[in-house]
Amino acid sequence: MPNRVAIVGIGQTRHQNTRLDVTLPEMINEAVRAALADAELSLKDIEAVFTSSMETFEGIYLPDHGGAAEIGTYMKPGFKVGTGGTSGASVVVEGFSMVSGGLYDLALVIGFEKQDCGETTAAITAAATPIWGKGAVTGAIGEFAKQALSYLETSGAKEEHAAMVRLKADRGACLNEYSHLKLGLKSIDEVLQSGYLVWPLRMLDFCPQSSGACALIFAEEKKAKKISKKPVWIADVEVVHQEPFRAGTFGDPTGKETYTQHVACERLYKRNGITKPMKDIDMAELYEPSNWEEMSLYEHFHFCEKNEGWKLVEQGVTEIEGAFPVNPSGGVIATNPIGATPTIRVAEAALQIRGDAGGHQVPKDIKTALATALGGPNWTVLTLLKRSL
């Protein structure tokens, strides 16, 4: 039997675009300290450290290699995980697997990204190889722009619905002390008047470039119960990778391609007896780089039928005080230190279960929460969290 694993420590930096006051390891150190303080542990207690970020986003390979002391890896086992946009969730799966498998009883898991170093869109565009896709330079934004166009043309959603998603995110972000963009947006018109970035995506339809880190401490059952009064259990994880869509990276106009979100959530739901996701799960933290993608994800994860994601928005179901809150933290569209972003999804979902989310704590009692990650050629990583197993 694998060991049960709980999150016993959660820490993150205040995310912002520019952190010229610290080096990358110093920035990571802030999250590590916060997680250790939350768990009332010291670095001596940690047996292994796993980290993740987007390769080359800071302009060099292994941007963290000078920071063993600050990060906590000094003389400890562990490694860095890189799976593109899902990295920060892959590292959660990695830490979970190691503790669950009994290799370590207490592990530190870190996602980080310091985007103020330079040209991260150039780094992400470099994922198109020189021999295939050269010159197709639209970064991740161009892919989400095409996804938005497909959704706009086929689902029945209007631009107003995307604007409503953006307003929901901003309301959450303004209540979240760690979030990056706190815009205080008041009206749909305000969103619809923002300029185009990559048509039909507007500046306010897409996530910012943030710098920040998020650290989690995982413990096996006995230690978890000793360390924490409110351990949050990792009930299950799922990882699905895919070839690049022949039909599109984040949207499929043919209806013939297999979405990794479908495969991943169907496997996860089946193993955990989830038949009605919006009833059996209490809330979700989704990886939504754009407001249009959030509506698509509602459908991909079977919260609703196809082409009905925008109806959930219209009905306010996914608002903080709604029946099924999604991204009360403000989500990725407000805060995106990419390597840390999926780790933050898990952290935020865990905080909701503990009741410790602060200003953006949802009013409803959260016993089960889903954290998702997306990246690369439509890869998906899921983490299911529970208050008790």
Partner 1 sequence: MAKKNPKEKNTKEKEPEYISVQFDAPRKYRWSTGKYMGRTYQEAKENKKLVANRCVKCKEVLWPPVEVCGRCKVEAGEDWVELSQTGTVMQYTYLVYPLWDPHYGEKFANPYPNAMILLDGGVYIRHFLEETDQKKLKVGMRVQAVWREDHERGEGTADVKYFRTIDS
Cα-based distances in Å from 338 to 47, 97, 170, 332, 341: 26, 22, 19, 9, 5
> Is 21 a residue that touches partner 1 (CB under 8 A)?
yes
Strand partners, 16: 211
Instruction: Answer whether 228's CB lies under 8 Å from 217's CB.
Output: no
The reply to whether 192 sits near partner 1 by the rule CB under 8 A is no
Say how far apart CA 331 and CA 295 lie, in whole Å: 13
3-state SS, residue 97: helix
Q: Which of 28, 145, 169, 347 binds partner 1 (CB under 8 A)?
A: 145
Of residues 229 through 248, those in contact with partner 1 by CB under 8 A are 243, 246-248
Q: Which amino acid is at 55?
A: E
- The residue among 74 and 199 lying less far from partner 1, judged by its C-beta, is 199
For residue 94, give the nearest of 377, 386, 342 by alpha carbon. 342
Q: Which of 31, 41, 198, 312 binds partner 1 (CB under 8 A)?
A: 198
- Does residue 184 touch partner 1 according to CB under 8 A? no
Instruction: Identify which of residues 122 and 389 has a Cβ nearer to partner 1 in the complex.
Output: 122
61 touches partner 1 by CB under 8 A: no
Smaller CB separation from partner 1, 276 or 306: 306
Please identify, among the stretches 26-34, 119-127, 160-168, 173-181, the one whose residues bind partner 1 according to the rule CB under 8 A.
119-127
Q: Is residue 139 near partner 1 by the rule CB under 8 A?
A: yes
* CA angle (182 as vertex; 178, 187 as ends), nearest 5: 145
How far is C-alpha 101 from the chain's CA centre? 24
The residue (of 193 and 388) whose beta carbon lies closer to partner 1 is 193
Site membership for partner 1, residue 200 (CB under 8 A): yes
82/248 with CB nearer partner 1: 248
Say if CB 214 and CB 11 are below 8 A apart: yes
The two tokens of residue 8 are 């016993």
Task: Spell out the SS3 assignment of 30-81.
Answer: HHHHHHHHHHCCCHHHCCEEEEECCCCCCCCCCCCCCCHHHHCCCCCCCCEE
All residues at 6 or more sequence positions from 161 whose CB lies less than 8 Å from its CB, including other chains:
295, 310, 313, 314
Smallest distance, Å, CB 170 to partner 1?
A: 21
Which lies closer to partner 1 via its Cβ, residue 11 or residue 251?
A: 251
Alpha carbon distance 327, 367 (integer Å): 16
- Rule CB under 8 A: say whether 255 interacts with partner 1: no
> What tokens were used for 293?
């993608």
What whole-number distance in Å separates Cα of residue 245 and Cα of residue 255?
A: 12
Question: Does residue 12 interact with partner 1 by CB under 8 A?
Answer: no
By CB under 8 A, is residue 125 in contact with partner 1? Answer: yes
Q: How far is the CB of 266 from partner 1 (least distance, A)?
A: 18
CA distances from 135 to 76, 123, 246 (A): 42, 14, 18
Q: Tell me whether residue 124 or residue 350 sits nearer to partner 1 (CB atom).
A: 124
In the complex with partner 1, the residue whose CB is nearer, 296 or 383, is 296
Residue of the chain from 4, 15, 80, 146 that contacts partner 1 (CB under 8 A): 146
Is residue 273 involved in binding partner 1 (CB under 8 A)? no
Q: Does 157 bind partner 1 (CB under 8 A)?
A: no
Stretch that binds partner 1, among 28-36, 76-84, 128-136, 260-268 (CB under 8 A): 128-136
**CA 183 and chain centroid, separation:** 20
Nearer to partner 1 among residue 44 and residue 256 (C-beta): 256
Q: Is residue 122 a contact residue for partner 1 (CB under 8 A)? A: yes
Cβ closest to partner 1, residue 18 vs residue 315: 18
CA 348 to chain centre: 9
Binding site for partner 1 (CB under 8 A): 20-21, 59, 119, 121-123, 125-126, 128-139, 141-142, 145-146, 149-150, 153, 195-201, 243, 246-248, 251, 253-254
